[in-house]
Amino acid sequence: MESPEPQWLIWARELQAIAQNGLTFSRDDYDIARYHAVREIAASMMAAGSGTDQALIVDLFAKQSGYATPKVDVRGAVFRDDRILLVRERSDGRWALPGGWADINQSASHAMIREISEESGFEVTVRKLAAVYDRSRHDHNPPFPFHVYKMFFLCDITGGAAQPSDETSAVDFFPLDALPELSLGRVLPKQIRRMFEHRAQPDLPTDFD
């Protein structure tokens, strides 16, 4: 599947990863200087393509250390009757499946349970890994400077009640044919539709890529 992302973003991201890996493992002063230069080029490309201040991108890249790997985002599909749980993000006023970055020392399922509890107020159990999507191969907008794997889980409510949080301003359930305006950087309509399909057909295999 061809990536819908702009080529400048793909190249800049790859250069950043090369620079980060080189700075992690290189011991030669000349090589270290070259990798710093590569990182500057990556930041220049990303700044030119995105219209973002280059200094902000340089600082963002400089905070990355160790071998460069994809980041992990978890999203929970929670149903009540024929409606899916969505939360309204305070950051952009749009709706998304509850979720966020997986934390260190937490399994993916525990990260999912935590995110749903924090963002919606509901307690859940995780039933199925429905999909592992490469963010760069889907039409998420805006583009993101790092490579991301998005893991979608089907979950069942065990307790709690709808409760907004510091990150969310509203919590509600929606039918597939009446979804609100979505936060497209977090979730796409076709991904929510696929979660409805996984719920209706429990034997569907996990989607990937």
Query: Does the residue 1 lie in any domain?
Result: no
Does 14 lie in the same domain as 112? no
- Each residue's pLDDT, cut to its tens digit, for the chain (209 residues) gives 668 899 999 999 999 999 999 999 999 999 999 999 999 999 999 999 999 999 999 999 999 999 999 999 999 999 999 999 999 999 999 999 999 999 999 999 999 999 999 999 999 999 999 999 999 999 999 989 999 999 999 999 999 999 999 999 999 999 999 999 999 999 999 999 999 999 999 999 999 99
Query: Does the residue 190 lie in any domain?
Result: yes
Distances (CA, A) of 110 to 20, 45, 104, 145, 194: 29, 37, 11, 26, 23
CATH number, domain containing residue 95: 3.90.79.10
State how many domains the chain has. 2
Structural domain boundaries enclosing 155: 71-208
Does 76 lie in the same domain as 52? no
Does 165 lie in the same domain as 82? yes
Task: For strands 95-96 and 122-134, give the pairing.
Answer: unpaired
Query: Does the residue 165 lie in any domain?
Result: yes
